[in-house]
Amino acid sequence: MLLSPHRRLAAGAGAALVAALAGTLVPAAPAAAAQAPARTTAPAQAPAPAPDMAGVTAALNAALANGAPGAMARYSGPEGVRSRTVGVQDRTTGEAMDVRSRFRIGSVSKTFSTVVLLQLVDEGRLELDAPVDRYLPGLLPDERITVRHLLTHRSGLADYTDPMFERTVPGFEAVRNRVFTYQELVDLSLALPRTTEPGVSYKYSNTNFVVVGMLIEKLTGRPVADAYQRRVIKPLKLRGTSYVHPDTRIAGPHVRGYLHPDEAGAPLVDSTEQTVSWAQSAGAVISTTADLDTFMSALMRGRLLSPAMLDAMTTVTPTDTAHTRFYGLGLRRYDLSCGAQVYGHTGTVQGFYTYAFATRDGRRSVAALANTSNHGAANTALGGVLETAFCGAPKTATAVKPAAPSASSAPAARSLDSAPSATDGPAERDLPERH
């Protein structure tokens, strides 16, 4: 086990925390708005199918057909490591997409930030259901907002990126080289109307994870880059992962990102170099597909958190009416058509779409990238990698259509006429998109 002694709970304290979590996993809310947490694991299932790598390639090619210059995916599982690449990672040189190259992972950074914060909970340095005001006095206007509300996107804090990127390219160019303080980003959010009362409903907001970064720095007394390095990157030997804010460069071989303007047919904008200061702890990590597979697999295997914290992180509530998409603590869960439940995060930063997911036992993982953004069809197409990698090739025979799954049950077995999967519809958006 990689989890070091200072991150483990003492036996008595761990039991007490498990008991406390069992009673407080979902904040109090009006009966009509609150939703019970979903089960964190699926019932016993047949052996997992082998990945359909031809299907993975088809999903990558679909991303190209929908505007991405290049795309790639890396699968790791009992069958070994399998990778596929299509298109180019540099439109100027024509350099082919390389699965070893680094790229900006956008909101997958939120899972890194959550791991660090939950390690601090493991160490007794903060409480999930304590008000943020206890640790950052006077920062937020509502003392009811808790640490858990931030990690589950239930704080009601408005997402400052909505007006920031209302016009995609002009908005990006205005912040490409700008360096923000955390306080400036929080102030941008507080100038907007709140989206919900604390704890009532899920509403994705980058502001939540800016505050998470502030908590990490307040409790450790060090920059968030130091926390990533000491607590995640170095222990897991993630050699291609870094947090270089406010440097604009991606060191070493890397993928160039291309942003679609809002105007149809307008030329792509090379968005590779930027500070990502508008996101910081919400989205500024750089990584590789291999490192993301390692990270998600290690997380799910319990190498970074205590069992109590991992259970809290993977306890989820629905974010869509079909109950195929869920959110826990800085972690998404997708329920796929074959019954597989996969945990991870999506990522969008200008010029890059990322998926990084693993099964709950950590035995299988997938990381995928398309080097474009503000083009939702490419994002949705890339999401098809999850179905083909985790569910294998489609069955050739049809079956009776199953009943719609409930929030607490796994979907029925995959068939040609089964209910739509988590990746059939438009992809979830981590940033506003216009095209």
Active site residues: 107
Q: Which residues contact 295 (CB under 8 A, 6 or more apart)?
A: 111, 112, 232, 236, 238, 241, 287, 356
Residues 6+ apart with CB under 8 A from 337: 387, 391, 411, 414, 418, 419, 420, 421
Buried b (16+ CB within 10 A) or exposed e, 308-347: bbbbbbbbbbbbeebbbbbbbbbbbbbbbbbbbbbbbbbb
CB 274 within 8 A of CB 248: yes
Which position has the token pair 């604009």? 248
Q: Are strands 258-259 and 372-373 parallel, antiparallel or unpaired?
A: parallel
Which of 382, 209, 218, 169 lies closest to 289 in space, CA to CA?
382
Residue 39's contacts (CB-CB under 8 Å, 6 or more residues apart) are 408, 409
What CA–CA distance (Å, rounded) separates 353 from 370? 5
Helices (H) and strands (E) in the chain, counts: 14, 13
Helix extents (H) in 129-261: 132-135, 147-151, 161-164, 168-175, 182-190, 206-220, 224-228, 234-236
Q: How far apart, in Å, are the Cα atoms of 134 and each of 9, 139, 142, 196? A: 22, 10, 12, 21
Cβ neighbors of 306 (< 8 A, separation 6 or more) are: 3, 7, 8, 9, 14, 122
CA–CA gap between residue 225 and residue 313 (Å, rounded)? 22
Closest CA to 299 of 258, 271, 333, 262: 333
Greatest C-alpha distance within the chain: 62
